[in-house]
Structure 1
Amino acid sequence: MKAGSNFLNAVSAVALSASMVVTGGSFATLVSATVAEAAVIRSIQVRGASRVSADTVKANITITPGKNFSNTDIDASVRRLFATGYFSDVKISVSGSTLVVTVDENQLINQVVINGNRKIKDEKLTPVLRSQSLGPYSETAIEADKQAIRDAYASIGRSDATVTTQVYPLGNGRVNVAFVVDEGDRTKISQINFVGNQAYSNSRLQAVIVTKKSNFLSFLTRKDVYSEDKLRADEEALRQFYFNNGYADFRVVSSEAVLNEASNEYVVTFTVEEGQRYDFGEINVESTVEGIDGDELKGLVESRPGKIYRARDVQDTMSEISRRVAANGYPFARVTPRGNRDLGNGTIAVDYLVDQGERAYVERIEIRGNTRTRDYVIRREFDIGEGDAFNQEVITRAKRRLEALGYFSTVNISTAPGSSPDRVVLVVDVQDQSTGSFGIGAGYETGNKGGFKLEASIEEKNFLGRGQYIRVAAGGGENSRDYNLSFTEPYFLGYRLAAGFDVFKNEDDSEDYYSVDTQGFTLRVTAPITEDLSTSLRYNYTKLDYNSGDLDELSSPYQHAVVNGPWVRSSISHSLTYDTIDDRTLPREGIFAQITQEFAGLGGDSDFYKISGKARYFHTLLEDADVIGSIAVSGGHMWGRNDVKVFDQFTLSANDLRGFESAGIGPRATSTRDSLGGTTYFTASAEASFPLPFIARDSGFRGAVFVDAGTLYGNDVKTVAADRVRGDDMSLRASVGASIIWASPFGPLRVDYAVPIKKESFDEVQRFKFGIATQF
């Protein structure tokens, strides 16, 4: 009796008040309790539930029989029940010692269909819908789904797409839902304007941003699709461009896109303030961390007094110092640059302060926005994980790695408070972009069996969203066939090791007196040493079937210089690569250098040692005119043992020395004019590229002028006594020419026209060449 009296006293002290709550687009009457002292109920009764079980309702409320509850618990229970999406109305009241939960169920969706969508298929739209078959019908979810479909169309440039719904009752509380899409016309970008820019022209700045004006290829590139995210990314691209060219005070005042509804075209306008251009002033490194001497860290400084101020140099310096200090046992150390402007001299003195930062740990890494790329592909670019010490420089380095992958149009990393003051949540926002490409190339082979040669390739840099690289290529002409397959796993066995293979088969019957079929494979693995330096190891297996054919037609006493195959070459090779190129598609600054050594003799018929190297330096000659200069050199030498085969020696391709055919220069057999290759080669090249005049820079067309020089000499191939070898001296060849380069939607294409200005009479010339643009 006493317990029952206490319960009745508690209930009598509760003043019940009714309030209207708008949730999920429906009105729910919530009877909440203003509690004088906590109430207790003995049982829960569910009313109105038919398809949803009473146990499911009870599982989604926070009130338990026998335990105290308050109005806060009632509010939370109502919210949780609405959040399930199964109910259009919820009422909670107390009747004696019983909590009564009265619900009105939403209708159940039998089937969801999308009609009118031609540009975006069902398999891409269905995953973004909250309304699903056998799920509850909710007006809130329907409105969210309509917006999701509109957003999907806006991402392909159809911002005026409209979405309506049709609901078909089936009885027994079930309905069919149809989303009807009117795709509308594709929006375009007619103009991109800049206001306030003095140092750089509109055309130069248009080349910096991602958004492009509409042109005849926009339906393939989709670079003329307007979105707020792209506009924010363009603002950041402009800031980085100016910051890295000395304009430390630069800011984007505003950016806006105005839609002309009559023409369905956007006009995009960026208003900027450039500010003054600065050089680096005095540079110092100070440390307040015990055991860390600032003077010893000065050797890590990238910025130098008198050089143009570049934010990239400051960031690289911070990264190097942070990495060194962390390696010395100070994971929480913080590197802060302090800039002191001297407006009169136009310099910025930079002091790098190393201090002991706050102790903070990464609670979790939250990844958002990736619709195609797997989470683990993004996570593995971070050198830290959950529970590790938070270090801002490590985060910045991860951001650069993610951007360099080329999988995302935008990458943004921010922080949010964790569950305690010393916990940080990393929030990674990315936006996937297309990573596949189709390439096509062509060339013309001279000689009696010459003719056009074509090649087509398909390349995917983010295969199935796993970050894997795959390329398939096939080509040929009237007398040749080429097939290639390449695959790379960038994180082999979970380590930062890029492992992969190449399989190839080539058939060549283009020469007069011989044919050669080549097939084989390469196994390779590449490991990073630093951010810019890497090392690679390869195993190479090649089978060459050389057939000299019927030589009866050759005049006596000449005989063929090369013994028929097949031959097998089995070798291992090792490369060291230094790469600071800023952009793989259109390099403007940086160095690419590589040295390779190869040893053959692991079985097979070849036995030699080769060493070769190449380097190319890029530098912007005229910033506003976007004139880019480059200088390249290469060279190699081989030491052969026993019987050196003709295909073991070096040959120069048409890319190494433009104006000449592949294997068009160097030692050659007099009887058949067969190329024998050479034991030593050197090449040098200078080139300047520039936007083509009278053609919009957004089209991706550039011109180039170049001069190439090189030589290939020396011969270790044994020939028959009656045959002679010519062209084995160091005679120099040279050519000059011009090119048209197009950053096409199918990949970078290039047309070269070169005229040899120094050659030998027996050299094979190829003035015109069309194919994939290669830089390295």
Structure 2
Amino acid sequence: MTNGLSGDEPRRPARAGRVGVSLAAMAVALSTAFTALPEPAAAQNYTFNSVSIEGNQRIEPGTILSYAGIARGETVSAAELNDAYQRILASGLFESVEIVPQGGTLVIRVVEYPTINRIAFEGNQRLDDEALAAIVESQSRRVYSPSTAEADANSIAEAYVTEGRIAARVTPKLIRRSENRVDLVFEVFEGGVSEVERIGFVGNDAYSDRRLRRVLETKQAGLLRAIIRSDTFIEDRIQFDRQLLEDFYSSRGYVDFRITGVNAELSEERDGYFITFNVEEGQQFAFGDVTVESDLPEVDVAKFQDAIRLRSGRTYSPSHVETEIARLERLAVQEGLNFVRVDPRISRNERDLTLDVSFVLTRGERIFVERIDIEGNTTTLDRVVRRQFDTVEGDPFNPRAIRQAAERIRALGYFANANVEAREGSTPQQVIVDVDVEEQPTGAISFGGSYSTTSGFGAAISFSESNFLGRGQKLSLGVNTASSASSYNFNFIEPAFLGRDVEFGIALNYTETDNQYSEYDTGTGIFRPSFGFPISDNTRLTLRYTARYTDIRNASDGDAGQIIQYEEGLGERVDSELGYTLSYDTRRTGLNPNAGVLLEFGQDFGGLGGDTNYVRTNMRAVAQTLVLNEEVTLRAAVEAGALNYTSGVSRVTDRFLLSDSTFRGFEYGGIGPREYDGPSDVDDAVGGNFFAVARFEAEFPVGLPEEYGVTGGLFYDVGSVWGLSDDTVDQTSNSILYEDASLRHVVGFSVFWDSALGPLRLNFSQPLKKEDRDREQNFSLSISTEF
């Protein structure tokens, strides 16, 4: 506090001080009246010819009289005087009030509450003044209110509770100033963070505590507790965790699962919680008979039965039932059957633990969508939100379709909150869909460094915006420089081209390499517009055009071999390609929540106005599943590619050179055909026209607490790069090594770390079979990505 100023607790409405004096004076007056008059009832009545108001500075006398409600010459009782006193005090304008009858004059003495000069905060570090100022309702240049100050103190304390600081205390203090002004100071004691020391479960048999802890949003306190804040105890997060746990069991067929209680015990030091979930798992159910029924004459039941994807024996999940309902309702619309609703009826078979599901097609109410109202979007255009609806104004109202649209709006990532509700419209047969959203930041600028065992250290600058100009478009710019490579990229995506379910994208990329494994440099530029669209629930087709610029430089200045020097002599080259990729993905939409596959096949046809004619083919197949009560993750992947030229020749910038992300255990270009001449120190990886790689790995716990985010893995890779055209081989008198498809085998182990910098992966590998001139890489560090 400033010297010369005193700090006081905020005053409450005086009820025992000055008010007491007022009541005492009133009591004396009443007792005098009782003595003077023979009848007590008559002594309680007063008539005042005048009213004197004392002590008011800002409040007008008329305002005080209006609160008192006593008119001149009016006869009032003692009870009515007390009511007047209570009304003046309840106005919240005065610290104290006295009402004193003095003969024919009623004296009202008041002490006004001071005006707030300024509001300050002391002792706060975790939450800055700006954040706290947005919480309080007290304002400068307004009359001070003790009740408002107390409510503000409680609001500040609640803000700290949401930060996990349950011991936080906030005390409002007053510093008196001249002219009946005060400074309102909130003294904050923040306290320490109450961490979650331990999360346990009681009653779980099917899944271990470790597996269930991975489901929850709340985490146990770990080594990085200063950075990772999910280990802070927040009561609302516990409620969210209950729902996550219920969804987890429900999606795995435990239809009777329930949480009987959640105990949160505070440690003796009041700095940590021990949380225990008490659960009852019940039995796991599978789907039994899945049928379609309807008594509507226009419904072809057989056609709807054929559309069912669910089969008996699969683990039951409500999400699978919802998916089938949506599929059947779409089919009904396609068949011109409006207002047909699908009602799932489930029968339990306790003996064999199955659930029979009958989808009953019934006639729904004839209700139409009158309009869709969107509010709260200040940046995002209405059409971005509106296109998430399959329903438009005038369509039949389908509650399920509205719920699905609400989920799609939330999944956009543009809004902190999104509420979608339906209400009755202008008639009972119409509804209005209200969409209320709260926007959040969608752009990011990042500056940082990078390290790769392939390209070394580097600096990176990037900008990304997922809702560009509020149109739902994605825009990203990036510059990445490293010791052996630098790249510049631009990407733009329009997710709804011309209002259709077609994704339009433009990619621009330019890369320069100072190849640390060969004696030459390269420059590559790509311009690629593309269109992508779904052709079924899990299948997507992408069409693209690619203009590719390539250049080989400085090969003749070093020890590069004859092949590279020849290809440098061909000069700069521009290739023009048309291509496609067909993908089938069940990782998010399949019937098994623990497994999924991704299949991709793509081709690019060169020769559309370019320098050469060729076909480049790539394929990829990956699969993942969880085993051993979902403790162990098994992954498998197969990748292959082929490059066939019908005119022109391939160059090292066109052929396949594998990196450690494709085939672990070797440097970039460390396997495959090589031009070799020992006496002249020529040993160049020239790439191959074909490659094939198979990767197998298992990820599993290593015994460390899961809050550390560390797991282990074992992997086995096998593959090869091979094949050169005769035109390429003819360009050298040196030896061409490993042109055939000789397989390399690699084993190793991985350390996965879900760090504050991102999901890191450390690979330690050892080739089991390799060729003499292959270049090993026994350690690699990279960002771990989902398959």
- What amino acid is the match of 1:339? I
**Correspondence for 1:712 among 714, 721, 728:** 721
How many percent identity over aligned positions? 33
| Number of the residue aligned with 1:732 | 743
Q: Is the alpha carbon distance of 1:123 and 1:488 closer, same or farther for their aligned partners in structure 2, counting shifts above 3 Å? A: farther
Q: Who is 1:765 aligned against?
A: 776
2: CA distance, partners of 1:711 / 1:527: 34
Indicate whether 1:297 and 2:304 are aligned: yes
Which 5+ residue runs of structure 2 have no aligned equivalent?
1-12, 14-55, 60-90, 95-111
**Mapped pair 1:679 → 2:686:** no
**Inter-partner Cα distance in structure 2 for 1:374 and 1:178:** 43
Q: Which residue of 2 aligns with 1:198?
A: 205
Matches within 5 A, 1:51-90: none
In the alignment, which residue of structure 2 is the partner of 1:634? Answer: 639
Given that 1:361 and 1:388 are in contact with CA atoms closer than 8 Å, whether structure 2 keeps it comes out as yes
1:547 is matched with which residue?
A: 553
Letter of the 1:191 partner, please give it: R
Q: Is the 8 A contact 2:93 2:143 kept in 1?
A: no
Contact 1:411–1:430 (Cα < 8 Å) also in 2: yes
Distance 1:432 1:314, change over 3 A: farther
> 1:537, 1:108 → 2: CA distance?
69
- The residue correspondences of 1:200-239 to structure 2 (distance < 5 A) are 200-239=207-246
Among 641, 650, 675, the residue aligned to 1:644: 650
1:501 aligns with 2:511: no
> Residue 663 in 1 paired to residue 669 in 2?
yes
**TM norm structure 1:** 0.74
1:538 deviation in Å? 3.9
Letter in 2 for 1:119: R
Aligned partners of 1:132, 1:365: CA distance in 2, in Å?
A: 39
Amino acid at match of 1:249: D
Deviation at 1:128, TM superposition (A): 5.6
Give the aligned partner of residue 695 of structure 1: 704
- 2:633 partner amino acid: I
Instruction: Give the secondary structure class of the aligned counterpart of 2:243.
Output: helix
- Which of 561, 567, 578 aligns to 1:562? It is 567
TM-superposed deviation, 1:399: 5.3
2:119 and 2:268 mapped to 1: Cα distance?
32
Instruction: Give 1:508 deviation, angstroms.
Output: 1.8
User: Aligned to 2:712, what secondary structure does the other structure show?
Assistant: strand
Q: Which deviates more, 131-140 or 507-516?
A: 131-140
- Could you tell me how far apart the structure 1 residues matched to 2:564 and 2:505 are? 45
Relative to 1, partners in 2 of residues 1:501 and 1:646: Cα closer, same or farther, differing over 3 Å?
same
Instruction: Give the aligned residue type for 1:575.
Output: T
1:599 corresponding residue in structure 2: 605
With 250-259 and 165-174 compared, the bigger mean Cα shift is at: 165-174
* Code of the aligned partner of 2:326: S
Given the superposition, is the C-alpha separation of residues 499 and 479 from structure 1 closer, same or farther in structure 2, using an over 3 Å criterion? closer
2:595 alignment partner, one of 589, 598, 602: 589
- 8 A contact 1:371–1:432 mirrored in 2: no
Q: Deviations over 1:689-715 (max 9, x none)?
A: 1122x2112322221112112222222
Separation in structure 1 between the aligned mates of residue 141 and residue 302 of structure 2, nearest angstrom:
69
Report the CA distance shift for 1:388/1:316 in structure 2 as closer, same or farther (over 3 A).
same
Question: Alpha-carbon deviation of 1:530?
Answer: 4.4
SS of the residue 1:232 aligns to: helix
Q: State the Cα distance separating 1:363 from its structure 2 match.
A: 6.7
Match of 2:712, as an amino acid?
Answer: G
Q: How does 1:94-493 map to 2 (within 5 A)?
A: 116-121=123-128, 146=153, 149-165=156-172, 181-260=188-267, 262-361=269-368, 380-384=387-391, 388-398=395-405, 401=408, 421-422=428-429, 423=431, 442-444=451-453, 452-453=456-457, 478-484=483-489, 486=491, 488=493, 490-491=495-496
Separation in structure 2 between the aligned mates of residue 279 and residue 620 of structure 1, nearest angstrom: 18
Question: Pick from 729, 733, 743: which aligns with 1:722?
Answer: 733
Secondary structure at the aligned position of 1:315 is classed as helix
Pairwise CA distance, 1:742: 1.5
Letter in 2 for 1:636: G
The separation in 2 between residues aligned to 1:366 and 1:174, in whole angstroms, is 48
**TM-aligned CA distance change 1:766 to 1:559, over 3 Å:** closer
Moved more, 342-351 or 463-472: 463-472
Residue 104 of structure 2 aligns with which residue? none
How many residue pairs get aligned? The number is 675
Report the 3-state secondary structure (helix = DSSP H, G, I; strand = E; otherwise coil) of the residue aligned with 1:685.
strand
Q: CA deviation at 1:616?
A: 0.8
Deviation at 1:317, TM superposition (A): 1.4
Shift of 1:752: 1.1
What amino acid sits opposite 2:567 in the alignment? V
Consecutive unaligned residues of structure 1, counting only runs of 5 or more, are 1-24, 26-47, 52-85, 90-104, 446-450
Q: Structure 2 CA distance, aligned partners of 1:206 and 1:186? A: 21
Distance 1:387 1:106 in 2: 59
**Cα distance in 2 between the residues matched to 1:723 and 1:650:** 21
Q: 1:269 to 1:660 in 2, by over 3 A?
A: same
**Structure 2 SS opposite 1:670:** strand
Choose 402-411 or 355-364, whichever is displaced more.
402-411
Against the structure 1 CA distance between its residues 427 and 516, is the aligned structure 2 distance closer, same or farther, given a 3 Å change threshold? closer
State the TM-score, normalizing by the size of structure 2.
0.73
Give the distance between the partners of 1:725 and 1:222, measured in 2 at CA.
56
Q: Distance in 2 between matches of 1:629 and 1:154?
A: 41
Deviation at residue 470 of structure 1 after TM alignment: 6.1
Of 532, 535, 558, the residue aligned with 2:541 is 535
Looking at structure 1, the residues matched to 518 and 735 of structure 2 have their Cα atoms a distance apart, in angstroms, of 18
Give the 3-state SS of the residue equivalent to 1:560 in structure 2: helix
1:91-127 CA distance string (max 9 Å, x none): xxxxxxxxxxxxxx99998866655543334565555
Name the residue aligned to 2:615.
Answer: 609
Contact 1:460–1:470 at 8 Å: present in 2 too? yes
Q: 1:744 to 1:540 in 2, by over 3 A?
A: farther
CA distance change for structure 1 residues 416 and 122 in 2, over 3 Å: closer, same or farther? farther
3-state secondary structure, aligned to 1:344 = coil
Aligned partners of 1:658 and 1:712: how far apart in 2?
13
The C-alpha deviation readout for 1:564-612, integer Å capped at 9, x for no partner, is 443334434332232222499xx94212222222233455545432121
- Aligned partners of 1:212 and 1:224 also within 8 Å: yes
The DSSP-based 3-state class of the residue aligned with 2:704 is: coil
Equivalent of 2:581 in 575, 584, 588: 575
Superimposed CA distance per residue, residues 397-448 of structure 1 (whole angstroms, 9 cap, x where no aligned partner): 3455456557789988676667765536567799989997999764435xxx
| Aligned CA-pair RMSD | 4.6
SS at match of 1:674: strand
Instruction: Provide closer, same or farther for how the CA distance between residues 417 and 160 of structure 1 changes in structure 2, counting only shifts above 3 A.
Output: farther
| CA–CA separation in structure 2 for the residues paired with 1:372 and 1:121 | 27
Partner AA of 2:241 in structure 1: D
Contact preservation (8 Å) 1:114, 1:178: yes
* Bigger Rg, which one: 2
Structure 1 residues 725-754: Cα deviation after superposition (integer angstroms, max 9, x where no partner): 332222222212211111222221101122
Q: Aligned partners of 2:126 and 2:375: how far apart in 1?
A: 25
Indicate if the aligned counterparts of 2:556 and 2:565 stay in contact, CA closer than 8 A: no
Residue 546 of structure 1 and its aligned partner are, at CA, apart by: 1.5
State the distance in 2 between where 1:222 and 1:618 align.
Answer: 30
Separation of aligned partners in 2, 1:139 and 1:474: 56
Contact 1:440–1:771 at 8 Å: present in 2 too? no
- Distance of 2:596 and 2:381 partners within structure 1: 31
Which secondary structure state, in structure 1, belongs to the residue aligned with residue 249 of structure 2? helix
The offset of 1:303, in angstroms, is 2.5
Q: Aligned partners of 2:783 and 2:377: how far apart in 1?
A: 31
